[in-house]
Chain A
């Protein structure tokens, strides 16, 4: 029994941390821009396939490829913001459709250019092997991904609690008109939010690629996780995302060990559904970043 409990705790931490890293960027966009970004999966797919393209076709090293990929992602993020978000902010259907299409276009192009036989992978393993935590064994890479997730989250929390930029973003998320009246450059704030929101997916992809699936349509599963956590935690609420990530991680872990991993996704969805019937605004409330 104690061994079972130990395994559940360890994997709750690991799963929850990874899911947090997956969903951070999505919560940020929801919280500040008030956009349900259906093209969020694009960041994950671009992280893989742009890096791969730079490595194999431009023959750049891993590090340089990653740096270039990040710069391209920033540029694409700004392009999407300028071309879709800004333009169609008041026309939600078009905004949702276009953002989803942006993801699909890239995913299909990546699938055409790099089918499974291309053997796409990212050599971003930081440490090989496995470590034992009591009776539980997890790979070093998985543990590093979990720690990285916590570190990134702490950095974001620091930004939003202690920096001027973070305070401005919170103000914009709480009261847009009030912020404008106070002289906040909302447009610039949105740009910063877009840039910041691409960082967690990039870091997530680089750290989990050594043990996660890598394919052109991986963005869909990532988006699903992000939406589930955002909804459970409270749309756009960073605090809620943290709580919800570990809640989902706990549910997945318990179901996997006590019953079967086959149903961990289903149980998490059912629990979320029940939770929203009881508390529709999510665990920590919606429409406020913190």
Chain B
């Protein structure tokens, strides 16, 4: 007590104790910081956000992990290992925002991959823009197709330049490439149809398809008419709709020669099953994407998907030397087949790797952005690269989604592009009757 409350200057004993404490603390700190890995030896961290209850996010996660494992096995990037930090958004925007902040602010990731729909990516863009000044990073969206993502970059490059979008087609790509060139060619010259019935699902990504994009393209209906097609029927279906038979009844009554479906999230199994035994069953059906393009669709529909044409990246054709190994390794090593979003996630990571190597450093995100704007890398589905100003991945002919047709015994026959074709188009009636 006398020692603690003495009004005299510190005693000799107190001074010795103080010196010992200071020396011990200094030595301890030196040892601790001395054993930390040097910054350039620390792993490059990439964050992944997905709805881990959904098959597409799970497949994308496996693809991301596969890319990371391959890169690390080959020596990493710039001699540094890559670490994937996975977070579950549970399909909820608030949760997505929460884990995004955690990845950027706490884990200090260099890049965040959001493998979910447009709405989730837009939420990430918002929080990412707030964090970017203090926590520079890159955001990749690898499943959302809507233009709402890259439009942020278009409308305010300085604020959103860290955002990059990868998907099979963005809405702009749908309008300027798919609807303007590929589908009219397919309908007129392969299916021999000029009267088109259109079905759109009521979701964000189809708004440009239904209403057009100002300054870019009119609605698909008008594009088709400019290409010599006649749209004889058009309707919109909701994502939770289960009954479609009345639509097929009206399509048949309208005299359509082909049914063009901008759908990907509706109940495609029920849709196809009902089409196959409806008044429109002999009218060729083209689906832009989704479950009908997955190998499991044959079993799910008990083979009623016979004759359906669909844009599918899940077919075993060697678009590049990477395609088949990617598909095989996803199944053999990671126990999941590639679903939409897995290719784009995998290719994005390799594109990012090449950009980092081109930049030669990871501590300058502005340099990485510039590198990403100029990178070209061999990908599973062609070549990955991003538009230098708008940051959406370069569409066909760079990135290719083949058109397949379901034929006998569940065969997914590629009918477009011709250089990858594995068979000829056949009408549904011909396939059923043969």
Which residue numbers of A lie inside 8 Å of B, CB to CB?
3, 7, 11, 15, 111, 115-121, 123, 125, 128-130, 135-142, 210-215, 221, 252-253, 256-257, 260-262, 264-265
Contacts and interface: CB of A to CB of B under 8 A. Distances in A.
B301 A130 contact: no
Given A15-B243, A261-B235, A261-B244, A119 B296 contact: yes
B277 A214 contact: no
Contact of B279 (A116, A120, A137, A142): A137
Given A135-B253, A212-B270, A261-B246, 18 more contacts: A3-B253, A7-B249, A11-B249, A117-B55, A117-B296, A119-B300, A121-B302, A139-B277, A142-B277, A213-B269, A215-B267, A256-B247, A257-B246, A261-B241, A262-B236, A262-B238, A262-B241, A264-B243
Interface residues on B, range: 35 or more
B245 A138 contact: yes
Contacts of A262: 202, 235-238, 241
A135 B240 CA distance: 28
Which among A3, A130, A211 has the greatest number of chain B C-beta atoms within 10 A?
A211
Contact of A261 (B237, B336, B337): B237
Nearest to B238: A262
Given A119-B296, A213-B270, A221-B242, A129 B277 contact: yes
B291 interface: yes
Contacts of B348: none
Interface string B296-311: 1011111000000000
B55 A214 contact: no
A142 B55 contact: no
A135 to B, nearest CB: 8
Contacts of A123: 302
A139 B281 CA distance: 10
Contact of B278 (A135, A137, A215): A137
Contacts, number: 99
A117 B154 CA distance: 37
15 contacts: A7-B246, A116-B55, A117-B296, A119-B296, A121-B300, A121-B301, A129-B277, A130-B279, A130-B281, A137-B278, A211-B277, A213-B270, A261-B235, A261-B247, A264-B243
Contact of B249 (A129, A137, A212): A137
Contacts of A116: 55, 291, 296, 300
B252 interface: yes
B422 interface: no
Contacts of B323: none
A213 to B, nearest CB: 4
Interface string B267-281: 101100110011101
B226 interface: no
Contacts of A211: 270, 273-274, 277
Contact of A115 (B55, B236, B269, B302): B55
B92 interface: no
A215 B300 CA distance: 10
A257 B250 CA distance: 8
Nearest to A137: B279
Contacts of B237: 261-262
A252 B55 CA distance: 32
Nearest to A4: B253
B117 to A, nearest CB: 16
Contacts of A121: 299-302
B337 A117 contact: yes
A264 B295 CA distance: 32
Nearest to A115: B55
A111 B53 contact: yes
Contacts of A119: 296, 298-300
Contacts of A253: 246
A3 B267 CA distance: 29
A156 to B, nearest CB: 24
A137 B299 contact: no
B336 A214 contact: no
A16 to B, nearest CB: 12
Contacts of B299: 119, 121
Contacts of B273: 210-212
